[in-house]
Structure 1
Amino acid sequence: MANRLVDATSPYLLQHADNPVDWWPWSSEAFEQARQRDVPVLLSVGYAACHWCHVMAHESFEDAETARLMNENFINIKVDREERPDVDAVYLEATQAMTGQGGWPMTCFLTPDGEPFHCGTYYPAQPMPGMPTFRQVLQAVAEAWTGRGSEVRGAAARIVEQLSAQRTALPESTLDDEVIAGAVSRLQAEFDEDNAGFGDAPKFPPSMVLEFLLRHRERIGDTGSGRTALELAQATCAAMARGGIYDQLAGGFARYSVDASWIVPHFEKMLYDNAQLLRAYAHLARSTGDALAERIARETAGFLLRDMRTPEGGFAASLDADTEGVEGLTYVWTPQQLTEVLGEQDGEWAAELFGVTASGTFEHGASTLQLRQDPRDAARWQRVRETLLQARDRRPQPDVDDKVVTAWNGLTITALVEAAQALDEPAWLDAAVRTGELLVQVHLVEGRLRRTSRNGAVGDAAGVLDDYGCLAEGLLALHQATGQHRWLRHACDLLGTALAEFTDPDNAGAFFDTAADAEALVRRPSDPTDNVTPAGASAVASALLTASALAGPEVSGSYRTAAEQALSRAGLLVQRASRFAGHWLSAAEARAHGPLQVAVAGSAEDRQELIGTARRRAPGGAVVVAGEPEAPDLPLLEGRGLVGGSAAAYVCRGYVCDRPVTSPAELDELLAM
C-alpha cells in the first residue's frame, strides 16, 4: 500500500512511496501531527542518485519491523535535498556540528517544532564496528523522548541557539589583485603533484576553481601567477579526462573519485558537474587550443544533449550511481567481457588501452575504463569504442532523476552558450534557448521562481538564492548570444527579486539563501561558500556584475554597487579557503578585467567576422554583444554606430573605452592587451 509520497513530483520521494514506513513529505501538517501525538520527527534526507541512500532504504525502510518502530514512535518525513536545499542546509549544519561530519543519507531527530536533538547519516541494519544499528538508534531516541522529554527539548533549543549564534555574515574584507594572487599560491600548495587536482581522496572535480584559474591566466598572461594558474588547470583537466571519473565511452563525468588518482568514481553523474566542466574544458580549448580539452568539451556536451535532456527541453538532475542495486554495474569491465564483445585481438588491445586488468581496479575483478594516452590507431579506437558502447547500452541502465532543477539548468544554459561560441556549435545554443524558454515559462510563477519541475509540471518548492543567481547568469549569456532583449529583461527581473527578497538588511552585500517571505525554518540559511555548485551569493554577485555592463543606465549603477558590496564580503573566505571560493574568484577576475565589454555594431552579415573574433578572444567573464547600429534593445550599443560605413567593435574595460576598430586584426590586438 502506498504512503503519502505517492503524489510527490520528486523521483527520490517516489522511490519511497511503496515503503511500509508511513512517510510524510515536508509539510506543516506533518509537524502538527507530531505535536498532537507528542512524538519526535524523524527526518530522512537524501537524493535519487545516492548509493548509500539506496542501501539504507533497502536495509531499513523496506523492512516491516523497522517500519513498525518508525511508525509507532515518530512522524517520519522524507526530503529530497535537491528539491529542498534550504531544509537540507539547516539540518546538515546541525549534523556536522553534532558529529563532525555530514553527508547523505542524513538522519535527524527533531522536536515537533523542528529543533534537532540527535543527528547522523547512514545507520546499518546489522551491527558494525563503532556504529549502532538503525533499530538501536530508533529505540534509544524513543526511550529518551518518553523518559526525558523535557531534557531533550531543552537540549534541542540550545543547539538551535548555538547554531544561530555561530552563523554570522562574513566581515567586509579586501578582494584585490594581491588576494587573488595569494589564492593561486594557496591552490598551488594544495595541488597534488602526482595525480593533479587539489587535496587528497575523495577528489571532487574543482569546476569553479578551474574557471577561476583560466580567467586569471587570461588576465595576467603566461608569466608569474598566470603561468602557474594555467599549469594547475591544464594538469587537472588532463588527469580527470584520462581517469575513470570520466566516461571514456559515452562522455560525461561522475560525481567524484573515491581515490586520489581519479580511477574509481562514485558513479552517479550530476548535471551541475557536467555543466560546469563543459564550461571549463571549452574555455581551456578556446584559450590554448588544447586538443584534449576540445574533445572532452564536445563529448561532454554530447552526453548532456543525448542522455540528460528531458522531452520538455530541460536537463535532468542526475543519473543514478546504482544499476539494479549494484554500484557501477553499467560501467565496469573485465578482460573476459572485453574479449567477448570485441574478439581476442581487439579485446587484448582494449584491455591494455583502458587499464583493464585481471585483478581489477574496482570490485570483484572488474575495472573502470581509463585512457592514459590517446591511441595511435584512431580508426581502431573509434571502432572499438563504438562497439563497446553498443554492448554497454544493452546492459541494464541506471535510473534517471528527471526533475529539472532551476539553478542547475541555469548553469547548463551558461555552459552550452559559452561552449557553442568557443567551439562554433550553434546546435548547443539552440538547446540552451529551449531550456531558457522552459524555465521562464514553467518555473517562473507570478514573478517568483520555483525550484523544480518534472514532466513540464512545476513543483511547489520555492526557488532559493542560487536559483535566481544561476538562472540570471544563464539568461544574460542567452541575451549576449542572441541579441534578444527578452533574456536581459527576465534576468534583470530575477536580480531585482534577489536584491529585494534575499539581502541581509543588517549587512550590506550579504545574502540569505531563502527569501524574506519563505517558509520559516529553525534558522534562515546563509552559506557563502562555493561547494560543488556556486553559493547563491556568489552566483548573484557574478550575475549583477555582468548585468551592470549590459543593462541600461537606470539600473547598471545599482547593480555594480551591489556586486561590489557582495565581493567585499568574500575576501576573507578567499584567504581562508580558496578551494571553496572558486566562483567568487571568477567574479573577482571579471571585475578586475572591467568586466571587459565588446559591443559590435553592424548588419548581421557585416559584423560576423568581428563578433567571431570577439567570442574567440574575449576572456571568461567578458561581456560580448552584437546588433544593428544603436539597436534600441541593446543598451551596450546605445550611441554606437558604423565607422566609415563599416561594422565596428567597441571595447571597454570598466569605465574606460578604446577607440572603435573595424577589422578582426585590430580587434584581436585590442583583446590581447
Structure 2
Amino acid sequence: MNPNNGSVPSATQPDTKASQKRKPNRLIHEKSPYLQQHAYNPVDWYPWGEEAFQKAIRENKPIFLSIGYSTCHWCHVMESESFEDEEVAKLLNENFVSIKVDREERPDIDNVYMAVCQAITGSGGWPLNIFLTQERKPFYAGTYFPKTERYGNPGFIAILKKISDLWKTNAESTIASGEQVTKVIQSMVPTTPGGLLTSEIMKLAYEQLRDTFDNIYGGFGSSPKFPTPHNYTFLLRWWKRSNTPPALDMVEKTLERMSRGGIYDQLGGGFHRYSTDEYWLIPHFEKMLYDQALLAIAYTEAYQAAGKTYYADIVKDIFRYVLRDMTSPDGGFYSAEDADSEGVEGKYYVWTPDEIVKILGEKDGKIFCDYYDVSDEGNFEGKNILHVDKPFDAFAKLEGISPDKLQEILRTSREKLFAVREKRIHPHKDDKVLTSWNGLMIAAFAKGARALNEPGYIQPAVRAVNFILDTLRDHNGSLLRRHRLGESAIPGYLDDYAYFVWGLIDLYEVTFETKYLKMALEINKIMIENFWDEKGGGFFFSGKKNEQLIAQTKEVYDGATPSGNSVAFLNLFRLGRMTGNQTLEKMAEQIIKTFGETIRQYPAGYTQFLCALDFSLGPTKEIVIAGEPNQKDTEQILTAIGKRFLPRQILLLRSQKDKILEEIAPFVKEQKPIDNKATAYICENYACKAPICDIDKIIHLLEAP
C-alpha cells in the first residue's frame, strides 16, 4: 500500500511527504493505526495519559479530546479539513491540550464520553469531539465540526475561539455549567441574509403541487398535461423525509394513470411527449429520449419506494423500446421519433376494431378491444388510441377467465398487433446523438440495473459512455454537443456536462468500476473551469468554449428537462461525499445561495433543484462496502442496498484490488473486510457507525429513518 496515495496516510506507515516537511507529534510512538494517521498533523497531539493532563494543569488549559477510528470517513474529513490546517492547529496548540483516542483501543473512554455527547446533543457518532477540564470533566461535546459554519453546523474555528475566550475569562462558570457553554455555542451560529434554504421550502413546494393535483386522473393542472418526472422524484423524497403519505399517493396515482393512458404506447412501450387532455388519453405522439430516461428513473424510484412490480414492468418496457428503436449500432441513443407518419399525426399508432379482430380473431379480438377501449366510433379522429380504463382483476372476472389466462391473451395479442404495426410506415426518427440526453439515458439504465437487479441493463449504459468518450470529446477532453452521420460538433453546454456526469456517477454505483467515478470527476472539473460564475456563483448555460452571445443565461428552472444547475448541484454534493472533497460541497452550497431567492418565489417550479436540496440537507448515508465484487456476501449486501429507496445515499465498493479508488477517495484505504467477510462501513449525519458484516443488521441500519 502506497502511503503517498491521497491525503490519508497508511495506518502503519507515516506519510513520507509530510514527514519531510513536519516533525512528528507524540502519536508517532503509538501502535494504533488511527493515532498513526494523525502523527504528522501540525496539531500537537498527545495520547491519552498523565503527560497530557499534567500539561493541562501546569499551563491551565482546557483539554480537547478527539475520538475516532482508522476507517471512519468523517474522521478523515475532519482531519483533512481541520487537523491538517495550520490555522486550526495554531488555535489548538496555543489554547488547548489536544488528545487523540482510538475507540477500538480504548472503548471505555469512548463509552463514557459518547454517553455525554448523546446526553448533550441527543445523538452521537464518530468523530467524537469533547472539551474537558483538567479534571477530565466534559463541558461541551459534538461529532463532526466543519472548519467554518456550514449547513447549520457551527464552525470549528469559531468554537475554539469562543471556548478559549470563555475559559480565560470565566473558567469557574465553564466548569460549573456545561449547559451554559452549550447555549453560548449555539447562540454564535450566524444567519446569512438570503442564505441557505431549509426543508420548509420543500414543504411549500409539496403544498403547491398538492393544491394543483388532479385527484381523479393524477398529474397537475388540467390540460395539456406534461409528464414532469422531477415532480414525482421530488415528491418521493418529500414522502421519505416527512413521512407524508399523500405525497406518495400523488406519485402512484399519476404514474399508474399515465401508464394506463394513451400517452403510453401500450404496444411498443415508451411515452409520448404529453397529453392534450386531462385524462392522459390523447397524446402529442412525439417520443423524446429525455422523457424515456427521466420517466424510467421516476418509475424505478417508485418501485423502490412502494415495492410494486407493476412499476418495474413499466421500466422494462421503456428500456425495451429504447434498445429496440432508439439505440444506434455504435451505442449512442437517438434523440426522438416524430408524431407524424405519412403526414398524419398518430397514424402509426391508432387502430379500428376491424383491424384488431382480423389479426387476433373474433374471441381474442373482442377481449382485446374491450380491455383497451377500442370502439367503432373511436376516440381519435374515428380511430382508437389504445388505453386501459378497466381494473384488470374485475375485467377478468367479468370475462369469466382467470387473471393468468387474461394476462396471456393480452400479451400474445400485443405481440401480434405490434408485429403488424412494425410493417406500417414509421414516423421519422431524429437519429442525432446528443451528449446531454445520452447522459440522462445512461443514468436511467444504471439506476434500473441496480434497483431491478438486472445486470443486462448495464451494457447499454457502458456502450453509450464509451461512445461519448470516443466520439463526443475534442482533443482537450472537453465534451461536444452532437454527433450525426460521422460528425461530432458544437462545444458542449452546461447540460451536456451535468447530465453526463450524472450518468457516470450512477454507472459507477452499479458497476463499481472506478474508471467511471474518475471520469465523472474529470468531466466535472472541466465543467467548473468552463461554466462556473466566479462572481455570482452558479453555472452559466454557455461556457468559455461556446460562442459568446450578447448575453449569458443562467438556467435554474426545471421544465421539460431539469436545469443544468439543478443537476450539477446534486452532482457536486455526491462527488464531494464520494471523495471527501469539501471544495465541491462548498461550491454546491454557493449554488443554494445564488438561486435561493429565485427558488423561494415558486418552489414547485424547481423540483429537481429541491431533489438536490434534499440531499444537501441530509442526513446522508455514506456507505462503503469492503469486499470483492464477485463475492456472494458482497453481492447480497449490494442487492439489498439497490432495491431500497435511499435518495440521500452514496455507495462505494472497496475492493483490495482497486488502488485507483484509494487515490480519489483516500478515506477508504483502511476500510477492509472483517474476518474475510464483506463489511459495511456506514456514516450518517457526519458520524460513522461501527462496521457491520451481518446482512440483517445492515438492512436495519439502512431502513432506519
- TM-score, normalised to structure 1, is 0.71
**Separation of aligned partners in 1, 2:380 and 2:491:** 40
1:388-413 CA distances to partner (integer Å, 9 max, x unpaired)? 11111111111211111111110111
Q: State the distance in 1 between where 2:443 and 2:279 align.
A: 29
What residue number does 1:586 align with?
Answer: 611
Match of 1:666 in 2: 697
The answer for the alignment partner of 2:548 in structure 1 is 520
Matches within 5 A, 1:248-267: 248-267=266-285
**What's the CA shift string for 1:190-231, capped at 9, x where partnerless?**
1011211011211110211111112232333xx3xx312111
Residue 199 of structure 1 is matched in structure 2 by 221
Q: Equivalent residue for 1:118?
A: none
Q: Counterpart of 1:178?
A: 200
Q: Which residue of 2 aligns with 1:608?
A: 635
Please say if residues 629 and 642 of structure 1, whose CA atoms lie closer than 8 Å, have aligned partners that are also in contact. no
- Could you say if the C-alpha distance between residues 400 and 629 of structure 1 is closer, same or farther in structure 2, counting changes exceeding 3 Å? same
Query: Which of 531, 537, 559 is residue 584 of structure 2 equivalent to?
Result: 559
* Structure 1 position 314 matched with structure 2 position 341: no
| 1:375-390 equivalence runs, <5 A | 376=403, 377-390=406-419
Residue in 1 that maps onto 2:114: none
In the alignment, structure 1 residue 304 sits paired with structure 2 residue 319: no
How much has 1:324 moved relative to structure 2?
1.5
1:244 and 1:428 mapped to 2: Cα distance? 26
The 3-state SS of whatever aligns with 1:617 is coil
User: How far apart are the structure 1 equivalents of 2:527 and 2:621?
Assistant: 24
Query: Which of 433, 440, 443 matches 2:472?
Result: 443
2:372 to 345, 348, 354: 354
- Per-residue Cα deviation, 1:343-400 (whole angstroms, up to 9, x for no partner): 223222222111122222112x112110233363111111211111111111111121
AA aligned opposite 2:197:
L
Q: Distance in 1 between matches of 2:324 and 2:564?
A: 29
CA distance in 2, matches of 1:391, 1:513: 44
1:368 to 360, 364, 385: 385
Structure 1 residue 620: Cα displacement:
2.5
Q: Between Structure 1 and Structure 2, whose CA radius of gyration is higher?
A: 2
Q: Give yes or no for contact 1:587–1:621 (8 Å, CA) kept in 2.
A: no
1:649/1:529 CA distance change after superposition, 3 Å:
same
What is the CA-CA distance between 1:240 and the residue it aligns to? 0.4
Provide the rounded CA distance (Å) in 1 between the counterparts of 2:599 and 2:649. 22
2:203 alignment partner, SS class = helix
Distance in 2, matches of 1:629 and 1:422, equals 25
Change (3 A) 1:545 1:664: same
Which segment drifts farther, 467-476 or 288-297? 288-297
Shift of 1:189: 0.6
Report the Cα distance in structure 2 between the residues aligned to 1:573 and 1:316, rounded to whole angstroms.
34
Contact 2:453 2:643 in 1 (8 A): no
Correspondence 1:487 to 2:504: no
- Secondary structure of the 2:468 match is helix
Q: Which residue of 1 aligns with 2:671?
A: 640
- Cα distance between partner residues in 1 of 2:602 and 2:413: 44
1:275-290, aligned counterparts within 5 Å? 275-290=293-308
Displacement of 1:287 in angstroms is 2.2
Q: How far did residue 594 of structure 1 move?
A: 4.0
1:632 alignment partner AA: K
Quote the offset at 1:281 in angstroms.
0.6
Partners of 1:204 and 1:308 lie apart in 2 by 21
1:536 paired with 2:553, answer no
Q: SS at 1:197's partner residue?
A: coil
From 427, 430, 437, the counterpart of 2:456: 427
Correspondence 1:400 to 2:429: yes
Q: Distance in 1 between matches of 2:616 and 2:425?
A: 48
Counterpart AA for 2:335: A
1:53-202 equivalence runs, <5 A? 172-202=194-224
Unaligned 5+ runs, structure 1: 1-170
Any idea what the Cα deviations from partners look like across 1:482-532, whole Å, max 9, x if unmatched? 222221222112211222211223212x22100024212232222211111
Q: Which residue of 2 is the match for residue 345 of structure 1? A: 363
Which whole-Å CA distance do the structure 2 matches of 1:312 and 1:237 have between them?
32
- CA–CA distance in structure 2, aligned partners of residues 468 and 619 of structure 1: 25
Asked if residue 597 in structure 1 is aligned to residue 614 in structure 2, the reply is no
Relative to structure 1, is the Cα distance of residues 388 and 198 closer, same or farther in structure 2, using a 3 angstrom cutoff? same
SS at match of 2:660: coil
> Would the aligned equivalents of 2:224 and 2:278 in 1 still touch at CA under 8 Å?
yes
**What SS does the corresponding residue of 1:358 show, helix, strand or coil?**
coil
Instruction: Tell me the amino acid that sits aligned with residue 412 of structure 2.
Output: R
Counterpart Cα distance in 1 of 2:210 and 2:597: 18
SS in 2 for 1:461: strand
Residue 627 (structure 1) aligns with: 654
Q: Does 1:331 align with 2:349?
A: yes
Give the stretch that moved more between structures: 648-657 or 536-545: 648-657
Within-5 A mapping of 1:17-36: none
Question: Is 1:410 equivalent to 2:439 in the alignment?
Answer: yes
Query: RMSD across aligned C-alpha pairs, in angstroms?
Result: 1.8
Would the aligned equivalents of 2:578 and 2:651 in 1 still touch at CA under 8 Å?
A: no
Q: Pairwise mapping of residues 449-488 of structure 1 onto structure 2 (< 5 A)?
A: 449-455=479-485, 457-488=486-517
Give SS of 1:600's match.
strand
User: What SS is found at the alignment partner of 1:459?
Assistant: strand
Q: Report the Cα distance in structure 1 between the residues aligned to 2:259 and 2:351, rounded to whole angstroms.
A: 19
Indicate if the aligned counterparts of 1:174 and 1:572 stay in contact, CA closer than 8 A. Answer: no
Residues 1:291 and 1:174: Cα distance change in structure 2 (over 3 Å): same
CA distance in 2 between partners of 1:305 and 1:362 (Å): 29
* Counterpart position of 1:161: none
Give the superposition deviation at 1:538: 0.9
- 2:304–2:645 Cα contact (<8 Å) kept: no
The CA distance in 1 between the partners of 2:203 and 2:428, in whole Å, is 43
Q: Please tell me the residue identity of whatever aligns with 1:385.
A: R
Distance change in 2, residues 1:313/1:630 (3 Å): closer
Distance 1:306 1:371, change over 3 A: same
Contact 2:274–2:284 under 8 Å retained in 1: yes
Distance across 2 between alignment mates of 1:287 and 1:458: 42
Q: Distance in 2 between matches of 1:611 and 1:351?
A: 44
User: Using the alignment, how far apart are the partners of 2:527 and 2:234 within structure 1?
Assistant: 24
Query: Which runs of 5 or more structure 2 residues have no equivalent in the other structure?
Result: 1-192, 397-402
**Number of residue pairs aligned between Structure 1 and Structure 2:** 493
Q: Please give the secondary structure, in 2, of the residue aligned with 1:416.
A: helix
Cα distance in structure 1, aligned partners of 2:676 and 2:421: 58
What is residue 233 of structure 1 aligned with on the other side? Answer: 251
CA distance in 1, matches of 2:620, 2:494: 23
- Secondary structure at the residue paired with 1:448? coil
Listed as ranges, the matches of 1:37-52 within 5 Å are none
* 1:649 match: 680
Give the whole-Å Cα distance in 1 for the aligned partners of 2:245 and 2:656: 39
Partners of 2:434 and 2:605 in 1: CA distance: 22
Q: One-letter code of the match for 1:331? A: Y
Cα-to-partner distance string for 1:237-266 (whole Å, 9 max, x where unaligned): 111011000011111000101111100110
Counterpart selection for 1:577 from 602, 618, 625: 602
1:571-593 C-alpha deviation (Å, 9 max, x unpaired): 44444333421211111122233
How much does 1:653 deviate? Answer: 2.3
| SS of equivalent to 2:542 | coil
Native 8 Å contact 2:449 2:510 kept in 1: no
Distance 1:546 1:586 in 2: 12
Alpha-carbon distance between aligned partners in 2 of 1:249 and 1:404, rounded to the nearest angstrom? 25
